[in-house]
Structure 1
Amino acid sequence: MTEAPSRRTVLRRFSAVLVGAAVGSQVLSLPAAAAGRGPDPGKLRESVRAAREREKRVRSGVPSKNGWEMEKVADDHGSVYSRPVPGVPVEDVRMRMAEVETLLVHVISRFHYEIDSLRPGDVTGWREPGSVRRALAESNLASGTAVRIRPGSYPPGVRGGFYPMEELVIRDILAECEGVVRWGGDDRVPDESLFSVDVPPGDPRLTAVARKIGGWNHTPGKGSGVLVDTLQPRRRQAAQRLAARQA
């Protein structure tokens, strides 16, 4: 004869059945809840459409002379934005962000501290693709990979705008940038106000030099604003080798 279960045992089993039923109902409802939290197809299509419209508005599909794509607008979901030049009293300069920005800001800063003090209006950056000549280095402005420093003082087609000691500083800046930046004064048709990135997108030299300069910016006694002896033999030799290579 089987012994009848105690009242406590019956209550325990009944509670277990109730808990199991509750958990099961929650599990069965998960797919429906998950489906309710998923992306709305209409909103997803709208997001894709908006992204394509932004890309069409920004990208030109045409490279500048140095191989970077020219952008049709600045400060509008592309790669070119108005960027500050710390310590230099000029307006924000429209240029390609990240590594390109690091190099161009370094050039502007050293010019300001070692050649001549810059003022608002002295530096210009990005220009619309239709306003530059694609075959010339000035097209690099449209890709955000170049700046002009005092273009009114150093007009295109004219050489000799800098004193010899000023040109020594320019050569030293270029040597610091290890050939990743080119001066328009070395072009067949000179443009002495123009400084451009001189390597294509993805070139590892750009990353290496930007990392070096970025490290200087966080190290006391290094970087722009710290006066250097451009006549020091090692620096002069590096500058002369690079000038011969970029000529």
Structure 2
Amino acid sequence: MTRREVVGHTALLGTLALAGGGSLLALPTAASAAEHAGPDGASGRPTSPNGWQTEERANHISTVWTRHVPGTGCDVDIRLGEAATVLTHVVRRFHYEIDALRAGDVTGWLPPSRVRLDRPEGNQASGTAVAIRPGSYPPGARGGFFPAQLTVVRDILAECDGVVRWGGDDDRPYEALFSLDVPPGDERLTRLVTRLRTWADEPGAGAGTPVDVTDKGRRRAAEALERRQQAD
């Protein structure tokens, strides 16, 4: 059974629906419309490396707001709408299948002044990336995950159909980092979000549902995506 809690906030940002059995969901709002305004945006603000408009602040005239990640002890500053749906799914699977997360373990949005926009972590400035335990998996270090944990990471990426990129695949690794790897309005993002939101309404689907990450079909998909993303 799923549970749904309607959370009110400003008229500009509209209404979010949190599905306890799935991902952080968002109904169509002014915020989600802003996500599809294109990489240039109306305000002239710079974009993060993945093409999303950066935000100077959170929780005030912004597409980035602090949200609780259902099922975990974590709150995260994240871009509302599609980005939140996808990245919350990633965080929840990490929590359930790799290691339990506590308050402070996940860092989402950061001001543009605190990140380099010419590096993947610059995606945090648009609220479209999260760093999970950045102190445990610092930039430049490889090998932070045990083999079984890495198998789960690869399965999560494959489940997201290449919409999410893992920082461990970059030339300068950042194994804590998970970013959207598509620009606003990309069809792959729309398809994935539709699937995740459908899972939220289905018993036995979505994050927290046991999956066999060693299944041959899932492993083949994960390995094929790994080759593609490492070649980028």
* Aligned partner of 2:58 among 74, 77, 85: 74
CA distance in 2, matches of 1:225, 1:109: 7
1:159–1:192 contact (8 Å) kept in structure 2: yes
CA distance in 1, matches of 2:83, 2:194: 11
Q: Which runs of 5+ in 1 are unaligned?
A: 1-57
Question: Percent identity between the aligned chains?
Answer: 55
- Give the structure 1 partner of residue 7 of structure 2: none
CA distance in 2, matches of 1:131, 1:89: 25
Greater Cα offset, 78-87 or 145-154? 78-87
Aligned-pair CA distance for 1:60: 6.0
Q: Which runs of 5+ in 2 are unaligned?
A: 1-41
**Greater relative CO, 1 or 2 (CA 8 Å, sep 6+):** 2
Bigger share in helix? 1
Query: Partner amino acid for 2:168?
Result: G
Residue 61 (1) aligns with residue 45 (2):
yes
- Give the structure 2 partner of residue 164 of structure 1: 147
Aligned-pair CA distance for 1:78: 1.5
Aligned-pair CA distance for 1:59: 5.2
CA distance in 1, matches of 2:67, 2:169: 27
Residue 240 (1) aligns with residue 226 (2):
no
Query: Partner amino acid for 2:177?
Result: L
**Cα 1:193–1:60, aligned 2, differ >3 Å: closer, same or farther?**
farther
- Give the structure 1 partner of residue 163 of structure 2: 180
Larger Rg: 1
**Count of residues in Structure 1 that have an aligned counterpart in Structure 2:** 189
What is the TM-score normalised by the length of structure 1? Answer: 0.75
Counterpart mapping for 1:88-99 below 5 A: 88-90=72-74, 92-99=75-82
Residue 222 (1) aligns with residue 205 (2):
yes
What is the root-mean-square deviation of aligned Cα atoms in Å? 1.2
Aligned-pair CA distance for 1:65: 0.6
- Give the structure 1 partner of residue 89 of structure 2: 106
- Give the structure 2 partner of residue 86 of structure 1: 70
**Cα 1:185–1:127, aligned 2, differ >3 Å: closer, same or farther?**
same
- Give the structure 1 partner of residue 187 of structure 2: 204
